[in-house]
Structure 1
Amino acid sequence: MDEATWAALAATLTLLGLVWTYVSYRRRGAIAAMRALGFTTLPVAAWLSGTLEMFTEIGGSVADWATGLVFNPITWTGIGLAGFGVVLIVISGYLRDRQLAPGRAAKGQLPEAASTRDARSAPAVDDDLADIEAMLKRRGIQ
């Protein structure tokens, strides 16, 4: 596309943005219109800085990639293998933690979650806390 086409695209997007700004102002007030006007200036800024063409090329490349993704069984095989690899990594981490837990418990190095669970179920040592705990149990709170 030549420069005139890019200018026409930027002008069209800006005019659509101005309509959006006006509608936003009428329906939701000045703050919404200010936000819409901010978005309205972006197509002209992209055209003046030369990035409008880059954005359209990126969009076209993503569309080509997505089209190839949908219709290519080799790509889907790759995605399936990636998912399978992630599942294996997660499962192996879970199994490793389960395998190391008995050894840590024997050494007194319980994981943080298990040590807090044991601390909650342990009886109160302090006499004042024991009295409070007994009152809570009598009232059915604990």
Structure 2
Amino acid sequence: MLAETICSAVSAAGLGIAAVTAYRRRFLRAARITGYALVPVGLVLTGAVQWLSGMVFKPAVWIGFGVLGLAWVLLVTTRALERRAVGGSGKTPGAVAPAASAPALGGGATGPSPKPQSAPAEDFSDIEAILKKHGI
């Protein structure tokens, strides 16, 4: 009952401000203020204010929000700690052999697969120096 009264008073005040604005010949602004002023009355008439005020003043609802907040904090914290423990490299901690899923190069032959011939070795010493400088 109190929430409906407050919404009605806010709407009445908004309509008064809109009337003064229209009197000053600022009709576009007055129409916008009228639209905002009618929102609280619309919420009262649809029953949204009663539902919201009933929800806000129940302790069980606030306990539920607290439990949801605690769950969110736990999920975010454990995710951050997991990333820190892994080293931020994106690897999963349970991966035993990361190269095990790579396709075989030998065409199904048993034993070690032959290494492919690579291009002549290039001089990467300057790149290595930069990486070492940054601790990578």
TM-score normalized with structure 1 length: 0.41
**Higher Rg:** 2
TM-score normalized with structure 2 length: 0.42
Structure with the higher fraction of residues in helix conformation: 1
